[in-house]
Amino acid sequence: MTIDLHGHVAIVTGAGGGLGRAHALALARAGAQVVVCDPGGGRDGRSGSIAVAQAVADEIRALGGKAIASATSVTDAVAVNAMVANVLDQWGRIDILVNNAGILRDKTFAKMSLEDFRSVVDVHLMGAVICTKAVWDIMREQNYGRIVMTTSSSGLYGNFGQSNYSAAKLALVGFMNTLRLEGAKYNIHTNCLSPSAATRMTEDIMSPETLAALAPEHVAPAVVALSSQDAPNGIVLCAGAGSFERAFITLTKGEMIGDGDGVAEAVLRRLPAISDRSGELTPAAGPEQAAHELSHAMSHQRRELA
């Protein structure tokens, strides 16, 4: 089966280089018409030019594809809405949104300013929220949409010196988990990509050998898969160096401890049993945690009454 995106319109943010450029080119090769959105700033988000987005749009046109360049900042809701309106005027629909835009301002939490924390959250999290909000009603009305959030292993598992970035990236998983539920009946599938790739965001924290192995082009097929008509809904797909994995947020079976005196101490004492991953669950939605806990409690009560 070949993924065919002809007739589909995709917006890719942060598409002027690195992963975003690779995503935009891969979607174009699959037939999509692509909006290359990138304000052209440095990796810290400062300064910029439309020339960065225009260069990628020109690459797509040179391949025989269709592309629009935009220097819109994902943190500017008015500008994002104007960009979306322009895309609708030119191409009539929006089928795919790849929220890839991001910046880095790495420091340990002790040395990080609130401004640097907020700036990273604003671009990664609120930028994705603003762009998704701009296309959400369009996708609902056309009863079709594919949205890709870009999370990170730093968000899923943590990384020294990236408390701002990690917080924003894991927040995107929570955002995705609710949108997958709210969008399902409108055929809007929302997923997360956790990429491992060599870009200007990582060029000074990886060895030359590692940088060579982690080409962004090895990640881009995951975006094409998550943008396709057969895309799943609500998964975290990891990709890097040609390898693909899936990350899960699971719930252990746990232990019924009850209430009353000594419960806090019992929690610490029995933490190994609480942490036992045999038979762990992957809840389909948040309320399943409470349902699981209530089931434990009711079973405990029945045993006491027996």
Instruction: Report the C-alpha gap between 208 and 210 in whole angstroms.
Output: 5
Instruction: Report the C-alpha gap between 74 and 77 in whole angstroms.
Output: 7
Instruction: Report the C-alpha gap between 104 and 168 in whole angstroms.
Output: 11
CA distances from 204 to 57, 199, 239, 252 (A): 27, 9, 21, 38
- Which residues make Cβ contacts (< 8 Å) with residue 261, sequence separation at least 6? none
Structure tokens at 285: 């939605």
Instruction: Report the C-alpha gap between 57 and 42 in whole angstroms.
Output: 19
DSSP for residue 107: B
Say if CB 148 and CB 104 are below 8 A apart: no
Locate tokens 């899936």: which residue? 246
Sign of CA dihedral 234, 284, 123, 246: negative
Instruction: Report the C-alpha gap between 20 and 41 in whole angstroms.
Output: 14
Instruction: Report the C-alpha gap between 161 and 155 in whole angstroms.
Output: 12
- Is 15 in a helix, a strand, or coil? coil
- Is 304 in a helix, a strand, or coil? helix
Choose, from 144, 157, 165, 186, the residue flagged as catalytic.
Answer: 165
| CA-based nearest residue to 139, from 205, 197, 183 | 183
Residue 144 appears among annotated catalytic residues: no
Catalytic site residues? 165
